Structure 1
């Protein structure tokens, strides 16, 4: 599932369902919003797994609740039923993965830097260690800034395209741009993933979604995956 910015208690500019605890919002509001998220998912709050996202490629496998956000981690994997994995974004690509046969799921924070250095292949490798088969993995590339909006310097585009082929594009202004979801789609397909879905929403264009590019100081939406314990 993917949240929107609606239905929480945070005040502007984090209004209102901000789930990020690192963006300057009132901690009490973030706690209330996270409690609501747990309630909507039907899981205890201590079974939400958060990451200290740093735009890297570290992937961790967890087998139970963790008391604090996973340190310096941008991908988390589990085979534990009822353990909800959370990735926070406000323009970066949230990537949700699952092998429904093995009961292994993963959540990935794939911004420009993380996608460039291979955080998604690292997540797939972690899923294999947990018992997943890449040929069975299903993926959702969630809402993110689209290629029409994501303008970057030419040198940056060239560098990212070298490491993540398929990501280079032109913006609607005709300037160099990046479509990270297109690059990640190709990377996943090349890795043997056959079922890849894309949420087409652009965070920069959709007022119901948080966008750091559009607003600067703002909240974070969450993409969440878990193994159903039933």
Structure 2
């Protein structure tokens, strides 16, 4: 079973500023017609139909939902999608949060996870892995990609927040570029994945705040959302 992974940028769509131009989020104030056109293009570029794209109503929680392609609407109140059905493309939308794409090529199971500060803190990634295990995946066979997100040098937060997240997601605490308390969620999630026994872990080092080709909520508000997508090919 082949696992495909794609991360979009903000280029190549039809949305007008400040959502220019390939915004895929339908909850950020963009013209719904533009978002729909961008989503149609996304499906076409992936060689899939629009019905093959699985979306979720992201709420910064830890719920993981297993989907099979028969769903008629985005999965409600969930931050991780899991499937063992080839051709179902799971989509996580982000603009500073960490998208985590997981896959077990032997079992034929994939997951797309939206891991923001709150979701990462409360354990959305372990929830996704447990859901994957329920349909036959095993951590030691899994491959993980931590996608573009705000880096630790740019994610300045109060010390109390650093202490709280570090207590729940060890390895996240760091210092910003100016030496103030900060969070590196990808570092914390990397450590968590390793502790859970995930066999291979990759990191896309791009910072959404620093890279103008990516959407960043911290850099610009309002703004669009990029997508991290994974699916199985037979």
Instruction: Output the TM-score relative to the length of structure 2.
Output: 0.97
- From 195, 204, 216, the equivalent of 1:190 is 195
* Cα distance in 2, alignment partners of residues 77 and 222 from structure 1: 16
* Cα distance in 1, alignment partners of residues 73 and 10 from structure 2: 24
Give the aligned partner of residue 100 of structure 2.
Answer: 95
- Note the 1:1-230 alignment, pairs <5 A: 1-228=6-233, 230=234
* Contact preservation (8 Å) 1:167, 1:182: yes
* Contact preservation (8 Å) 1:80, 1:227: yes
Uncovered stretches (5+) of structure 2, i.e. residues with no partner? 1-5
Give how far 1:216 is off. 1.4
Stretches of 4+ moved more than 4 A in 1?
none
Instruction: Output the TM-score relative to the length of structure 1.
Output: 0.99
Total equivalences in the alignment: 229
* Contact preservation (8 Å) 1:94, 1:144: yes
Report the RMSD for the aligned CA atoms in angstroms: 0.5
Give how far 1:65 is off. 3.5
Give how far 1:86 is off. 0.2
* Contact preservation (8 Å) 1:47, 1:65: no
* Contact preservation (8 Å) 1:5, 1:16: yes
Deviations 1:126-176 (A, max 9, x none): 000011011100000000000000000000000000000000000010000
* Cα distance in 2, alignment partners of residues 37 and 183 from structure 1: 31
Give how far 1:194 is off. 2.1
**Could you say what secondary structure the match of 1:169 adopts?**
strand
Give the aligned partner of residue 3 of structure 2.
Answer: none
**Could you say what secondary structure the match of 2:12 adopts?**
coil
* Cα distance in 1, alignment partners of residues 199 and 162 from structure 2: 27
